[in-house]
Chains A and B, each alone.
Chain A
Amino acid sequence: MTLDTMKRETPFQRIFRQLLRNRRAVVGAILLLLIIGLAVFAPYVTKYDPAKQNMRNRLQPPSKEHILGTDQFGRDIYSRVVYGARLSLRVGFLSISLALVVGSALGLIAGYYGGILDNIIMRFIDILLALPGFLLALSIVAALGPGLENVILAIGVSYIPSFARMMRSSVLAIRELDYVDAAEALGARDLRIILGHIVPNAVNPIIVMTTLSLAGAILSAAGLSFLGMGAQPPTPEWGSMIATSRPFIRVSHWAVTIPGLAIFITVMSLNLVGDGLRDALDPRLKNVG
Chain B
Amino acid sequence: MWRYILRRLAMLIPVLIGISIFVFLLMHITPGDPALLMLGEHAPRAQLEALREEMGLNDPLPVQYLNWLKKAVRLDFGRSLRSKKLVTREIVDRLPATGQLALAAVAFSVLVGVPVGILSATKPNSWFDNVAMVGALTGVGMPVFWQGIMLILIFSVNLAWFPSSGRMGGWEYLVLPAITLGTASTASIARMTRSSMLDVLQHDYIRTARAKGLSGPKVVLIHALRNALIPVVTMIGLQFGGLMSGAVLTETIFAWPGIGRMVVEAINNKDFPLVQGTIMAFALIYALVNLVVDITYAFLDPRLRLLYE
Contacts and interface: CB of A to CB of B under 8 A. Distances in A.
Interface of A: 123-124, 126-127, 130-135, 138-145, 215, 219, 222-223, 226-229, 239, 242, 246, 249-250, 253, 256-257, 259-260, 263-264, 267-268, 271-272, 287-289
Contact of A135 (B143, B147, B192, B245): B245
30 contacts: A123-B14, A124-B18, A126-B18, A127-B21, A130-B16, A134-B248, A135-B245, A138-B248, A138-B263, A139-B26, A139-B279, A144-B29, A145-B31, A215-B141, A222-B145, A223-B143, A223-B249, A226-B143, A227-B248, A227-B249, A239-B145, A249-B153, A249-B157, A256-B146, A267-B142, A267-B143, A268-B138, A272-B137, A287-B195, A289-B235
Nearest to A253: B153
Chain A: interface secondary structure? helix
Q: Which of A223, A229, A257 has the most CB of B within 10 A?
A: A223
B150 A142 contact: no
A135 B282 contact: yes
B64 to A, nearest CB: 16
* Size bracket, chain B contacts: 35 or more
B158 to A, nearest CB: 10
Closest 3 CB pairs of A and B: A260-B146, A134-B245, A132-B241
Given A130-B283, A267-B141, 14 more contacts: A130-B16, A130-B286, A132-B245, A133-B245, A135-B245, A135-B279, A139-B23, A145-B30, A227-B248, A249-B152, A259-B146, A260-B143, A264-B143, A287-B199
Interface of B: 14-16, 18-19, 21-23, 26-27, 29-31, 137-138, 140-147, 149-150, 152-153, 157, 188, 191-192, 195, 198-199, 235, 241-242, 244-245, 248-249, 252, 263-264, 267-268, 275, 279, 282-283, 286-287
B244 A127 contact: no
Contacts of B157: 249-250
B68 to A, nearest CB: 15
Nearest to B19: A130
A242 B14 contact: no
